């Protein structure tokens, strides 16, 4: 479904991605795990061309993701996004937020007037049922909790009827219990609808719990690709450079106090 070859992305002197080769199968639920700055967001942004690769090729469902034209439009229709901060419109109802996932398929005048065909309203309600928020369809979205807003984000992505969902740290702003609920809905939708999901996470425990396949990224390179059982202490040290064993912790990897973004992640592990 996604095929990436030799992907490199430089921002001036910063090499955010250094020669990524990656294939994602149809319906696969893939977790990209890595510390802050590893290149996870850049990877997702290159897949739907929110940013232009410096080198390399990306194909989604057989179409090359190019600078513009029909091929890119085809790709963008097939690829939905889920964001860390939900990106819902607070004043709009839950239903209208989900309907914005349909805008790409509608004639422009209808979308300007926010007139939605009955069929699109039915699709939106079906997607809300999947995340068990159909009972809240008429509420203003700013009355919902963070976890519920992210479930709206999932329903909006599903309403696009995509082949691929790219989720960039979808639970980074949520508490652990809510995070697990949100990831459960996302994974379930992926399985039931056969949608490939690439989900960026920095939390090792969620990657272990939800990732069928985990790709570990560090310094812009893939340093691990395997199942959750493969996340040994050694592998974790590759993904999170700067880790050290702490014998007092039964050999569990811990971050040095001097590496704040990592320590948060690893204390949780």
Give me the residues that bind ligand ADP (CB under 6 A), please: 11, 14, 16, 34, 36-42
Nearest CB to ligand ADP, comparing residues 92 and 172: 172
24 touches, from ligand ADP, Mg ion, none (C-beta below 5 to 8 Å by class)? none
Nearest CB to Mg ion, comparing residues 27 and 37: 37
Give the count of residues interacting with Mg ion (CB under 5 A). 2
179 touches, from Mg ion, ligand ADP, none (C-beta below 5 to 8 Å by class)? none
262: three-class secondary structure by DSSP:
helix
- Contacts with 109 (C-beta within 8 Å, 6 or more apart), sequence order: none
Nearest CB to ligand ADP, comparing residues 219 and 226: 219
- Contacts with 50 (C-beta within 8 Å, 6 or more apart), sequence order: none
Residues between 228 and 257 with contacts to Mg ion, criterion CB under 5 A: none
Phi, psi for residue 48 in degrees, rounded to 5: -105, 20
233 touches, from Mg ion, ligand ADP, none (C-beta below 5 to 8 Å by class)? none
Q: Which DSSP symbol is given to 260? A: H
Residue 41 touches Mg ion, criterion: CB under 5 A: yes
Nearest CB to ligand ADP, comparing residues 11 and 112: 11
Nearest CB to ligand ADP, comparing residues 3 and 221: 221
42 touches, from ligand ADP, Mg ion, none (C-beta below 5 to 8 Å by class)? ligand ADP
Residue 190 touches Mg ion, criterion: CB under 5 A: no
Residue 203 touches Mg ion, criterion: CB under 5 A: no
34 touches, from ligand ADP, Mg ion, none (C-beta below 5 to 8 Å by class)? ligand ADP
* Distance, CA of 185 to CA of 41 (rounded, Å): 22
In the chain, which ranges are E strands? 2-11, 14-24, 29-33, 55-60, 63-64, 79-82, 164-168, 196-201, 213-218, 221-226, 243-245, 253-255
Nearest distance from residue 60's CB to ligand ADP, in Å? 19
Helix (H) or strand (E) holding 151, with range, is: helix 146-159
Residue 48 touches Mg ion, criterion: CB under 5 A: no
DSSP conformation letters of 1-45? -EEEEEEEEEETTEEEEEEEEEEE-TT-EEEEE--TTSSHHHHHH
Nearest distance from residue 240's CB to ligand ADP, in Å? 12
Nearest CB to ligand ADP, comparing residues 31 and 98: 31
Distances (CA, A) of 145 to 86, 150, 174, 218, 237: 11, 9, 10, 33, 35
53 touches, from ligand ADP, Mg ion, none (C-beta below 5 to 8 Å by class)? none
Query: Which residues lie near Mg ion (CB under 5 A)?
Result: 40-41
């Amino acid at each position: 479904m996604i095929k990436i070859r030799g992907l490199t992305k430089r921002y001036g002197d910063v090499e955010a991605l250094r020669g990524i080769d990656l294939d994602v199968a149809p319906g696969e639920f893939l977790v990209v795990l890595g510390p802050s700055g590893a290149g996870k967001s850049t990877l997702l942004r290159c897949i739907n061309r929110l940013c232009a690769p410096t080198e390399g090729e990306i194909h989604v469902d057989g179409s090359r993701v190019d600078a513009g034209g029909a091929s890119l439009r085809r790709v963008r229709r097939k690829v939905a996004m889920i964001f860390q901060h939900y990106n819902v419109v607070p004043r709009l109802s839950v239903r209208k937020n989900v309907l914005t996932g349909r805008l790409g398929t509608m004639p422009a005048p209808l979308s300007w007037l926010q007139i939605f065909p009955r069929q699109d309203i039915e699709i939106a309600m079906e997607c809300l049922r999947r995340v068990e928020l159909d009972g809240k369809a008429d509420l203003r979205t700013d009355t919902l909790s963070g976890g519920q807003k992210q479930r709206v984000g999932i329903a909006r992505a599903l309403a696009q009827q995509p082949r691929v969902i790219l989720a960039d740290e979808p639970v980074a702003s949520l508490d652990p219990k809510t995070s697990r609920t949100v990831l459960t809905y996302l994974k379930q939708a992926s399985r039931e609808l056969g949608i490939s999901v690439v989900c960026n996470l920095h939390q090792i425990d969620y990657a272990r719990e939800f990732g069928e396949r985990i790709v570990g990224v560090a310094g812009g390179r893939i340093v691990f690709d395997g199942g959750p059982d493969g996340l040994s202490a050694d592998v974790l040290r590759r993904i999170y450079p700067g880790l050290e064993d702490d014998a007092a912790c039964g050999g569990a990897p811990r971050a040095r106090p001097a590496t704040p973004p990592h320590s948060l992640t690893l204390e949780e592990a």
